[in-house]
Amino acid sequence: MTITITPAANERMRQFLASTPAAAGVRFGVKRTGCSGFAYVVDLADSVTADDQTVEVDGVRLIVDPKSLPLVDGTVIDFQRQGLNASFVFHNPNATGECGCGESFTVA
């Protein structure tokens, strides 16, 4: 599994983890939704299952479920601020298209 976290995303994830010391790490995956099929999920993980893949990226434990792994492998996770808005931004080599609003993506 190869997932890259930029320094800005790493800092934001560390802030979330510091506010919830009991968290097992950061869960990264996808869910079916939106007009294009899949949306990214980034959340604090309560636990790690035996099927989950975990990787430590610059001090952040990233947890990916087995169904999401083929869809997010190779993704670069960034965190960007634009004016009053701030969000994680994903550069996914597996995505073949995105909806107009950028909230969901498709794969081949």
Share of the chain above pLDDT 70, in %: 92
19 phi, psi to nearest 5 deg: -80, -15
Residue 102 has pLDDT above 90, yes or no: no
Give the number of other CB atoms < 10 A from CB of residue 87: 13
pLDDT in tens, 15-53: 999 999 999 999 999 998 766 688 889 999 999 999 999
For residue 72, give the CATH number of its domain.
2.60.300.12
pTM of the model: 0.86
Number of domains in the chain: 1
Domain with 94, as residue range(s), is 4-107
